[in-house]
Amino acid sequence: MIDLKKEIQGFSLKAVGIIIVITAIVTSITTGIIIYNNNKVILGGANWKDDTALQEFLSIYNSLDEDYYEEIDKTEMVDAAIAAMVDYLGEEYSIYLNEAETNSLSDQLSGKYVGIGISIGLNGQIVKVYQDTPASRVGLQDGDTIIEINGSSTENKTSAEIANLIEDNIENEVVVARNNEEITYYVTPETINEPLTTNVYNRNDQNIGYIYIGSFTNTVGEEFSKSLTELKNSGINSLIIDLRGDTGGYLKSAADVASIFLQKGQTIYSLEGKDETTTYYDETTEYQTLPVIVLMNEISASASEVLAAALKDSYNATIVGTLSYGKGKVQQVNHLDDGSMVKYTTARWLRPDGTCIDGIGITPDYVVELEQDEGGNYLDTQLEKALELLS
């Protein structure tokens, strides 16, 4: 997933650069994550004491605790039992995650990072200063070139190497060049929302907006709304939403983005559980009229597919790319006291037209494969097709 994101940005958004992050980038624990709820009590109800299977389990637990010839780490033993129960289900998306894996997934989906709020391009140039961040508040500007951080020169350093010069939890001295003048700023990193990658393409006098969503984190809805507002203020006539390589995240975040486009009362998705099917509708008054194209590929999964299906079925968006992954199941999670977590499937989700895409995927309106030139470099023919259609 990370490699694909870099590859897409490398050949279609070279000017955008990378977002400064101090914390490590965390990859997905599983392919096609979609989480419906953060917590649910598994053991409860009036009849659990009458559950003979549970009583037998507790009997063995007590016997081992009291009679086993060596000391037992009861927490580890129970975790092993929980992992075995989930494994018994034989369902690929129902899994047990230890504390480290749980923390990794939580970090990935938080949508926040520690940094100063800028994107760096080639040769240390600041491509973008994001609003309401430490960088914007001290006065750093788009187009500034970073030449020194905390006394260390940035000459011949990559964007990532420059980012690593910024230290967490201290005031950093950042020297930039602007209009043949060197200016020194003092800026302290903060925990801020991870911004989305955006761009504007001009084709045949049409201003086409572009937003890339790499994961459906907790903050995606808020950041997407900000990005779209900025793009509309710049005068875009249409929009490309790039979901290539996005393996999913929170269902609510996908619904939040869909609600920005749909009219109140339109269907976003349905959940088909063991006993009933519940349909979720847009409850907001906000809606859009911009023509929209969604880019997808074989890695686009889960929450990505929820958004694409909602925009296709309820907004009449066009999909370009390749057949999506095909994950039509929803998980809930239960956090354990030792920091581990159980993630288990509770429902299938249905697109607004009533179908389930699990194991099937979403077929684009225009199937376009990426191509390579004679030198082996990728040509973003999918993006080019979207630009062609919108222009």
b/e 15-47 (16+ beta carbons within 10 angstroms → b): ebbbbbbbeeebebbbebbbbbeeeeeeeeeee
pLDDT tens, position by position, 180-210:
999 999 999 999 999 899 999 999 999 999 9
Provide mean pLDDT across the span 342-354: 94
Class of the CATH-defined domain 29-35+194-390: alpha beta
Contact (Cβ atoms closer than 8 angstroms) between residue 195 and residue 227: yes
Q: Do domains 29-35+194-390 and 115-192 have the same CATH topology?
A: no
Tokens of 120: 């760096």
> Is 79 a residue whose pLDDT tops 90?
no
Can you state the angle between helices 251-261 and 220-233, rounded to 10 degrees? 30
> Is 217 a residue whose pLDDT tops 90?
yes
pLDDT score of 198: 94
Q: How many other CB atoms are there within 10 angstroms of residue 100's CB atom?
A: 10
Q: C-alpha 70: how far from its chain's center?
A: 46
Query: In which band, very low, low, confident or very high, does the pLDDT at 337 lie, cut at 50, 70 and 90?
Result: confident
Query: Which of residues 35 and 216 earns the better pLDDT score?
Result: 216
Percent of the chain with pLDDT over 90: 63
The beta strand positions in 256-316, using DSSP E, are 267-272, 277-281, 292-296
Provide mean pLDDT across the span 324-352: 92
pLDDT tens, position by position, 302-335:
999 999 999 999 999 999 999 999 999 999 988 9
Going by DSSP bridges, is the β-strand pair 292-296/238-242 parallel, antiparallel, or unpaired? parallel
> Is 48 a residue whose pLDDT tops 80?
no
Domain boundaries, the chain: 29-35+194-390, 115-192
Query: In which band, very low, low, confident or very high, does the pLDDT at 144 lie, cut at 50, 70 and 90?
Result: very high
Contact (Cβ atoms closer than 8 angstroms) between residue 289 and residue 254: no
Provide mean pLDDT across the span 252-272: 98
Q: How many other CB atoms are there within 10 angstroms of residue 90's CB atom?
A: 7
pLDDT score of 73: 92
pLDDT score of 82: 87
Query: In which band, very low, low, confident or very high, does the pLDDT at 54 lie, cut at 50, 70 and 90?
Result: confident
Contact (Cβ atoms closer than 8 angstroms) between residue 58 and residue 152: no
Give the three-state DSSP class for 87: helix
* Candidate from 57-66, 252-261, 295-304, 364-373 with smallest mean pLDDT: 57-66
CATH number of this structure's domain 115-192:
2.30.42.10
Provide mean pLDDT across the span 232-246: 97
pLDDT score of 32: 64
- In the chain, the N- to C-terminal Cα span, in Å, equals 30
Q: What is the pTM of this model?
A: 0.80
b/e 305-341 (16+ beta carbons within 10 angstroms → b): bbbbbbbbbbbebbbbbbebbbbbbbbbbbebeeebb
* Radius of gyration of the chain from its Cα atoms, rounded to whole angstroms: 24
Phi, psi of 157 (to 5 degrees): -100, 150
pLDDT score of 141: 95
* Candidate from 65-69, 134-138, 291-295 with smallest mean pLDDT: 65-69
Provide mean pLDDT across the span 75-84: 88
Q: 25: which DSSP letter?
A: P
pLDDT score of 33: 65
Query: In which band, very low, low, confident or very high, does the pLDDT at 15 lie, cut at 50, 70 and 90?
Result: very low
- Per-residue DSSP letters for 106-137? HHHHH-EEEE-SEEE-GGGBEEEE-TTSHHHH
pLDDT score of 42: 42
Query: In which band, very low, low, confident or very high, does the pLDDT at 375 lie, cut at 50, 70 and 90?
Result: confident
Provide mean pLDDT across the span 339-367: 95
